[in-house]
A and B are shown apart, each in its own frame.
Chain A
Amino acid sequence: MTGVVAHEYTGETLPAWSLPNDAVDRIALPSTWPERVTREWAWGESTGQGARVCILDSGVEPGHPLVGGLEEAVTISLGEDDEVLVEEDTEGDVSGHGTACAGIVRALAPDCALSSVRVLGSNFTGSGGVLLAGLRYAVEQGYDVINMSLSTTKKPFAAVLHELADSAYFRRTVLVASAHNMPVESYPWRFSSVISVGSHEDESPFTFFYNPNPPVEFFGRGVNVDVAWLEGRTIRVSGNSFATPHLSGICALILAKHPELTPFQVKSVLYLTSSNVGGAR
């Protein structure tokens, strides 16, 4: 099962797609699923320990009491010839938004490893090119979860974003992306390979709903949320940006307990444990 065709955007090789009889045993699942998937089975006792979560955003303030330490913090920029520059991030957070997202993930999955990939400059001149480069970098790092509380409306970037989202999906990285709450086309949340998140009004961080009417697939807590902000402070915010890291945190809990799960399986577990499906169990 060796492939030779390098993918244009992701550099992946394409394996053979068939399954001969003698290969069936090799794809046996490492663990059996229970008859009923419950929250207890999905993430009971999990603290996120072992799961690696990336915040693709405006940076994360290091050492914020609600965030704690970071595994890695880099900033992405484009050089004079549009070459991608990945440098250690010494600026922290340029807006507060990334820190808010990181704090939410930390609250839900206290022992997960958090990293920051900053795709916005200190003057917010985050271009679509930097966003793509940042996502590509994050996918290459093999994080378990990438939180993406932002989107782009630029259609020329959509095709590459789509490839990157699929690439994450095939490499077992769960990409959790904020849905737009306005009637506009934006990406990557509309792609089916990501977990897209809108907001509900409930105050419980573990309340989340499956939406049988996509493109938005899940609703997480996104209204009147107290979050970490700049200079060690907290602030009360609302928006899909903050619903997204709630689902990212839950994904981290699930993957810490069941690291073998693929993004498809994680999404299935989310569905089965949604508050409007089996969440009460």
Chain B
Amino acid sequence: MSEPRDVRAAVAAGVVGSSESFRELLSAIVTVARSIFGAKASSILLLDEETGELVFEAVVGEGEESLLGVRFPAGRGIAGWVLATRTSLILEDVKTDPRFAGDVAEDTGFVPSGLMAAPLLHEERALGVLEVLDRPERSHFSLQEMDLLGLFANQAAIAVDLLLRARRAERLLEEGGGDLEVVARLAEIVDGLEEGQRTAGMRLLRDLAGTLGASGL
């Protein structure tokens, strides 16, 4: 049986959009991040809490074709560190970091030479990591870029949170067959009614809930 918050999530999903549109938003964020920093690539990795893995959820630039959907253990590499410590990190010449080059790059098939990474933090949770790879060598890293990276990560975290909610809701709708869709549709209709009609609609729903055995409404 679905939890009340799951029903709300299902309802919300119908109203605010599909997971696909949030994926597009993530893609747009990494595209802008890459462009602003003049970098070769940028990506967003999400933490899959069930498997303890980081998954490339959005990739632009080098590795775009091969990295999307690639997973590796969240305990590895710079991204793993950033996720665990919730701390941004900027490394140059990461090829000299044996763990990074040996583990992650082998998994991903792409060995960047420089990397900026910021955690995607939403409320108390670390949802994933935003990475910007291979900024131009000419430029010395500056604090302005660090702040900018943080702002992008913040934006990405909000998008990721929406994506995860939408996915959960979609899963519920799929698992719940048509049942939850009916609930979602009803809530949507009542929510859109004028004030007077809304009151009457709510009364009707309460009576229905009471008839079905709910108490305390």
Contacts and interface: CB of A to CB of B under 8 A. Distances in A.
Contacts of A201: 142-143
Interface string A115-130: 0000011111110000
A131 to B, nearest CB: 10
Given A124-B83, A223-B141, A181 B88 contact: yes
Interface stretch (B26-34, B60-68, B72-80): B72-80
A268 B119 CA distance: 33
Nearest to B150: A182
9 contacts: A58-B81, A97-B85, A122-B75, A153-B86, A184-B154, A223-B140, A230-B98, A239-B89, A240-B88
B89 A241 contact: yes
Contact of A124 (B74, B90, B97): B74
Nearest to A95: B81
A199 interface: yes
B133 interface: no
Interface in B89-141: 89-94, 96-99, 118-119, 121, 123-126, 140-141
Interface residues of B, number: 40
A78 to B, nearest CB: 15
Nearest 3 CB-CB pairings of A with B: A123-B75, A124-B84, A238-B90
A183 B126 CA distance: 14
B81 A124 contact: yes
Interface string B30-52: 00000000000000000000001
Nearest to B83: A124
Contacts of B94: 235
Interface stretch (A3-11, A22-30, A32-40, A144-152): A144-152
Given A236-B93, A237-B92, 20 more contacts: A96-B97, A97-B81, A123-B52, A124-B80, A125-B84, A153-B125, A180-B87, A181-B147, A182-B118, A183-B151, A184-B121, A186-B86, A223-B143, A230-B98, A233-B98, A235-B93, A237-B89, A239-B90, A239-B146, A240-B88
B96 A229 contact: yes
A55 to B, nearest CB: 13
Interface string A137-159: 00000000000011111110000
Contacts of A200: 143
Given A155-B124, A183-B150, A239 B97 contact: no
B55 interface: no
Contacts of B123: 153
Interface in A224-261: 224, 229-231, 233-241
B160 interface: no
A181 B81 contact: no
A186 B160 CA distance: 20
A107 to B, nearest CB: 19
Given A182-B88, A182-B153, A241-B87, A224 B124 contact: no
A178 interface: yes
